[in-house]
Amino acid sequence: MDIKDRELKEIIKTLSYFLHGKEKAIKLALITFFSRGHLLIEDLPGLGKTTLAIGISRILGLDFGRIQCTSDLLPTDITGLSIYNKSLEKFEFHPGPIFNNVVLVDEINRATPKTQSALLEAMGEKQVTIEGETYKLPKPFFIIATQNPVEQFGTFPLPESQMDRFMLKISIGYPSREAEREILKGGSKREELYNLKPIFNKETVLKIQEDIDRVYLSDKIVDYIIDIAEMTRREKFFSAGLSIRGTLAIAKTAKTNAYFHGRDYVIPEDIKELAIYTIPHRVIIKDEYENISPEEIIKSIIDSTPVPA
């Protein structure tokens, strides 16, 4: 297997020019992308989510679509719809913005539950069905959804069960003082971003995704993942622990993380590094412990699970 970890580092480096001091977020987004998962960013507006999405689509040579969610957004606004063409005398399908490789769904919690579930279904199935016709979504397909945690009025926050469909949940956070100074001095780089030269193309990206599937996952590591999952299921603070989809996501992202480190086998560090992004949004905390952050509990669980060696 030809591991392209050097090129991946190059990508992270290039993108961090546009998102100062946010290598971690870029890397996590890329890991999600190469794991064939979707990313949920829970953050305040104006911290670079769009830049991240555009950057990833540009540098990987993919096309980009954007959906700005509002309460009156309809499912067909996302998936597209058939319109009658008079001259041809038949219905014609007009694909919606979801028919792109990288789709930014901004403020997903503003959309109505109906629209949300249409979107989540498309994410899960990687296809949409409109008036009996099934349309395959392009490959690769990657959704970055954002959710504003502060504004709660008139929004429909994603229920926990839906959050599970996102492979990672991250937040970008405020930049450091130095980084912000750089941003202010440099002005807008949006134009530059659009002219970014791709490092990969679609074929390479798909090839890497296939290679990642072949990263070796030892039984020892599988047991380690199950150990962690069982700990979350037994944890007294949680009313629900990790689902099967959750353990699958852990294994999948661990493989990608190993690949990013230039390895063709998974080690416990790959899992530990990502645990606070893969697990917290999948567990449900009991009402009486609402003030405890799930991240902290996950950290303590990881720190008490022995590694295989």
DSSP helix/strand/coil, 152 = coil
**Do 4 and 208 touch, CB atoms closer than 8 A?**
yes
Select from 97, 101, 102, 119 the least CA-distant residue to 110. 119
**Dist CA 140 CA 147 (whole Å):** 23
Least gap, CB of 136 to another protein (angstroms) = 36
> Pick from 125, 218, 233, 292: which binds another protein (CB under 8 A)?
218
Among 204, 101, 114, 172, CA closest to 143: 101
Give the helix/strand (H/E) hosting 226: helix 219-234
CB of 228 to another protein, least distance (A): 10
- DSSP category for residue 48: S
Say which residue the tokens 């590591």 belong to.
Answer: 221
Q: Candidates 142-150, 169-177, 288-296, 299-307 — which segment interacts with another protein by CB under 8 A?
A: 299-307
Binding-site member from 263, 284, 289, 295 for another protein (CB under 8 A): 263
Tell me if the bond preceding 140 is cis, omega within 30° of 0. Answer: yes
Query: What span, in angstroms and rounded, lies between the C-alpha atoms of 120 and 187?
Result: 36
By CB under 8 A, tell whether 3 contacts another protein: no
Question: Considering the complex, what minimum distance in angstroms separates the CB of residue 224 from another protein?
Answer: 10
CB of 266 to another protein, least distance (A): 6
What mask, x for binding another protein by CB under 8 A, covers residues 221 to 260?
A: x---------------------------------------
Nearer to another protein (CB atom), residue 202 or residue 261? 261
Q: How far apart are CA 221 and CA 199, in angstroms?
A: 32
Candidates 272, 275, 278, 281: give the one binding another protein (CB under 8 A). 272
Q: At 199, phi and psi to the nearest 5?
A: -95, -35
Give the residue with the Cβ less far from another protein, 62 or 251: 251
Question: Phi and psi at residue 232, in whole multiples of 5°?
Answer: -70, -35
Q: Please identify which residue in 191, 287, 288, 303 interacts with another protein, judged by CB under 8 A.
A: 303
**Span near another protein by CB under 8 A; candidates 158-166, 186-194, 197-205, 215-223:** 215-223
Binding another protein (rule: CB under 8 A), the pick from 268, 277, 285, 298 is 268
Near another protein by CB under 8 A: residue from 87, 188, 195, 304: 304
Q: Token digits for 56? A: 């990833």
Contact flags string 164-183 toward another protein, x per CB under 8 A:
--------------------
Which range touches another protein (CB under 8 A), out of 79-87, 186-194, 268-276, 277-285? 268-276
Burial class (CB in 10 A: 0-12, 13-18, 19+), 87: exposed
- Whichever of 42 and 270 has its CB closer to another protein, that residue is 270
CA dist 227 and 161 (Å) reads 22
Select from 126, 220, 233, 245 the one that contacts another protein (CB under 8 A): 220
The total of other beta-carbon atoms located within 10 Å of residue 202's CB is 16
Closest to another protein by CB, 290 vs 303, is 303
Three-state DSSP class for 197?
Answer: coil
Binding site for another protein (CB under 8 A): 216, 218-221, 263-269, 272, 302-309
